[in-house]
Structure 1
Amino acid sequence: MKKNKLLLLSLVSSGIVILYEFFKWKLAEVTSVFLILPVMIGVFGLFLVITVIALVALFKKKKWIPLVIQAATVILLVTVPFNKITLDIDFKWNKQGREKVVEMVKNGDLKLNEDYNPGFVSLPKGYKNLSSGNYIAIEKTNSGYRILFYTYSGVLDNFSGFLYTTEKQGPSKDALMGDIKEIDKLDKNWYFVASY
């Protein structure tokens, strides 16, 4: 392969891998969680093929820059917490809108539809982007509410999201009828929770 073509392929495959890491959960939300595996195989398959070609080019033609790009990408994949960065941006970017929804729940403007889908409320127009699936989970407690804005809503009981709670001690592991495995405090009354 020509030097410039391999260099371009190396940059493109590395860029695609980085973009995939930042946007994989949005992609799952927009399409389907079942499409993530084939997309991941395609993205990393391309990256692996280009890495092998870059390795061959290093030994045959002494062209090392494409392999350095691939190696740097692997180092980034191992060291950079892409999910945490994405979640931090999402939380900060949408916190004000989510707090407006919390006030709607507290004021009674958003109510549970116990007959149709107990525990869930569809978000009103203008707020649908605040939770995956365009709905939130609400649980009334002795001290107020637990309101979950989904970042991921999987099959059966797998979920993750930003939880607002009025409980002083924070949410318990069995909050929202789930087996919560991860609870990280983000701000006053706000937590990231995950059940898997």
Structure 2
Amino acid sequence: MQLVQWKLVEILTPFVMPVVYLAVYGFFLAVLIMTLIDLIRRRNWKAIGIQAAAIVLLFTVPFNQIVLEMDFNMNKSERLEVVAQVQDGSLQPNVMHNSSLIRLPEEYSSLSNGGGEIVVEKHEDDYSVLFFTFRGILDGFSGFVYSNKKPETNAFGGDFKEVERMAEDWYFVTSY
């Protein structure tokens, strides 16, 4: 579930995800109860062992971090192409209600979740570009930032609780 969580959130919206979580974890709980009944009746330890292993994996493997690193590494070169287009002026803000938003062309729209838009801030001759990994309902968001310096805690209208360096000029940020 955690491996596909962020794609599901993008497709189904954060409003529907609690229902999905309830269904998935409810199913897991029902199977656990049936497995415990089977254990008591037949002394079959295989099924409970598999469920115990699944629970251990759920709590010990950092699935979110794995997915974020895969996303970052698989899309880094395309994101750099977008940054170059922002810097040379071929991509300009094009969203009416926000002068720092750029709706990406179709071939790049999958690089930023929550609508295929990026946020650009210009400081003198330097640009900071935010590619969303999660775009919340009101103000919570996370994403990859391209910037030649560490983003300030209030950059992009956020209140960053986490700023983690991913690579040279790349940071992962979380605001909530």
TM-score normalised by structure 2 residue count: 0.96
Structure 2 portions without partners, runs of 5+: none
Q: Counterparts of 1:152-171 in structure 2 under 5 Å?
A: 152-167=134-149, 170-171=150-151
Larger radius of gyration: 1
What code does the residue aligned with 1:62 have?
R
Is 1:91 matched up with 2:84?
no
1:21 corresponds in structure 2 to 2
1:126 corresponds in structure 2 to 107
Shift of 1:142: 3.2
Percent identity of equivalent pairs: 41
Structure 1 portions without partners, runs of 5+: 1-19
The 2-side partners of 1:126 and 1:70 are apart by 41
Q: Which has the higher helix share?
A: 1
1:61 corresponds in structure 2 to 42
What code does the residue aligned with 1:59 have?
I
- Tell me, yes or no, if the aligned pair for 1:55 and 1:67 is still in contact at 8 Å: yes
Is 1:174 matched up with 2:174?
no
Is 1:101 matched up with 2:82?
yes
2:131 corresponds in structure 1 to 149
The 1-side partners of 2:59 and 2:146 are apart by 31
What code does the residue aligned with 2:153 have?
K
2:32 corresponds in structure 1 to 51
Count of aligned pairs: 175
- After superposition, the Cα gap between the structure-2 partners of 1:115 and 1:37, relative to the gap in structure 1 and judged at 3 Å, is closer
What RMSD in Å do the two structures reach over aligned CA positions?
A: 1.2
- Tell me, yes or no, if the aligned pair for 1:143 and 1:166 is still in contact at 8 Å: no
SS at match of 1:22: coil
Shift of 1:115: 4.6
The 2-side partners of 1:143 and 1:189 are apart by 15
What code does the residue aligned with 1:47 have?
F
SS at match of 1:21: coil
SS at match of 1:127: helix
TM-score normalised by structure 1 residue count: 0.86
